[in-house]
Chains A and B, each alone.
Chain A
Amino acid sequence: GAGVSQSPSNKVTEKGKDVELRCDPISGHTALYWYRQSLGQGLEFLIYFQGNSAPDKSGLPSDRFSAERTGGSVSTLTIQRTQQEDSAVYLCASRQDRGGNEQFFGPGTRLTVL
């Protein structure tokens, strides 16, 4: 595709349920990032994938959060036992490893935990 896509665009869930958020990066981009944008705050880095290397998980806020990237392309962010404070917009970005350091962002998934 022409850009980064994410699904679903909106997700409403009940506290305690698990959710999965999907990101399709730009074809050929080897780097993939997840960020979280909470109300009134800037974007917060969550996790980074680069090719087949082990991901950088240093931004994950708790062990309820995990992510994987299959085949170096599509990524899934999973939040287990969701809490109300998990409500936010979750953004995915991809970057072409060669040249330029620009990250291209997807439209985000708005997660609401009731």
Chain B
Amino acid sequence: AQSVSQHNHHVILSEAASLELGCNYSYGGTVNLFWYVQYPGQHLQLLLKYFSGDPLVKGIKGFEAEFIKSKFSFNLRKPSVQWSDTAEYFCAVNAPSGANNLFFGTGTRLTVIP
């Protein structure tokens, strides 16, 4: 079975600090990888995704993530966070066959202090 680990439960940063949120997954086959974000009071929305090709993917709002197959990782990064990045971030994986349901990590709450 697939599983996703997000080791950072709550991260607190000052504005302009750099961000890296860890995500590791457990699955032996080909996977699709996602980062979703949930801003306070809003629904989940896609930040970025990786299906194939360049392992460094860029998403909205200056976020990027790097797929490292050998490490089963898909860490999320942003060089300079803003107060508006305060949100909960979820890493997710699915296998590109069958139900395609997503397996989510438990989420990382990011608080950015102005």
Contacts and interface: CB of A to CB of B under 8 A. Distances in A.
B73 interface: no
B45 A105 contact: yes
A105 B43 contact: yes
A33 B92 CA distance: 15
A108 B88 CA distance: 15
Contacts of B90: 42-43
B99 A56 contact: yes
Interface residues of B, number: 26
Given A91-B44, A102-B46, A43 B104 contact: yes
Contact of B43 (A31, A40, A42, A107): A107
A13 interface: no
Contacts of A106: 43
Interface in B68-99: 90, 92, 94, 96, 98-99
Interface residues of A, number: 25
A99 to B, nearest CB: 10
B100 A101 contact: yes
A106 B107 CA distance: 18
Contacts of B51: 101
Given A31-B100, A42-B90, A108-B43, A101 B106 contact: no
A70 interface: no
Interface of B: 4, 6, 32, 34, 36, 42-46, 49, 51, 90, 92, 94, 96, 98-107
Interface of A: 31, 33, 35, 40-45, 48, 50, 56, 58-59, 91, 93, 95, 101-108
Q: Top 8 nearest A-B pairs by Cβ distance?
A: A42-B104, A105-B44, A43-B104, A45-B101, A107-B43, A42-B106, A48-B99, A56-B99
